[in-house]
Amino acid sequence: MVANGLVGPVVNTLRAAGFFALMALQTASAIAEDPYQAAMRAVKANDFAQAVTLFEPLAQSDDHDAQYNLAVLLKSGKGRPQHFTQALEWAWLSQLGGVERARPLSEELAALVPPAQRDECLEKIGAHLEARLARGEQGAVMQYVTCKSEILPKPDFQSAYVWSLIGAALGLPGAAQMRDQIAEGLDPR
């Protein structure tokens, strides 16, 4: 038995509580959504500005696939004005992170960017990798070796060798092979 006709207000209150709980779950779901997947959905929906907005913080956080996708968007001028130099920086970082499809993109972009701007790109990449190394990020070691030995127009095999020694000592994949390969090309003097 319900006293004083409270059934209606109680039911309405429960409905409202249920509605707000559902909204909270949907909001939490949207917040918890994988930003990379959200960026890929934005690309598929041709919302390139949103895709760039989502890829950029991921790229800055060393998500190498996001770096590649951001490079592609910047190269084509989708979502942001076309910018070959920025695209090259992201493509090189992606390549250093092991994204194989970034290599031909890097080569294509490097041919489009004037030498002075390429050098600025390389300086920024070097500073970025050195900051990661200073923070003790092991993932940056072999990227730094590859940058010094393969990306620079005039490779710095001495630095690459030293860091490949460190990588090998840490047991990083491919470090010992890279160390030995670089050592073969070094002048013993």
Tell me, what's the pLDDT at 89?
98
Displacement of CA 32 from its chain's centroid (Å)? 19
**Do residues 170 and 142 lie in contact, with contact meaning Cβ atoms separated by under 8 Å?**
no
Query: What pLDDT, on the 0 to 100 scale, is given for residue 33?
Result: 81
pLDDT in tens, the chain (189 residues): 455 555 555 545 556 555 555 565 555 555 568 999 999 999 999 999 999 999 999 999 999 999 999 999 999 999 999 999 999 999 999 999 999 999 999 999 999 999 999 999 999 999 999 999 999 999 999 999 999 999 999 999 999 999 999 999 999 999 999 999 999 988 776
Which pair of structure tokens corresponds to residue 75? 């190269």
d(CA 127, CA 36): 25
- Work out the burial of residue 95: count CB atoms within 10 Å of its CB; fewer than 13 is exposed, 13-18 middle, 19 or more buried: buried
List helix spans (H) across 61-156: 64-76, 84-96, 102-112, 115-134, 139-146
Residue 44 is predicted with a pLDDT of 97
Contact 151, 122 (CB under 8 A): yes
Decide: 82 and 76 in contact? Cβ < 8 Å: yes
In angstroms, the CA 95 to CA 74 distance is: 16
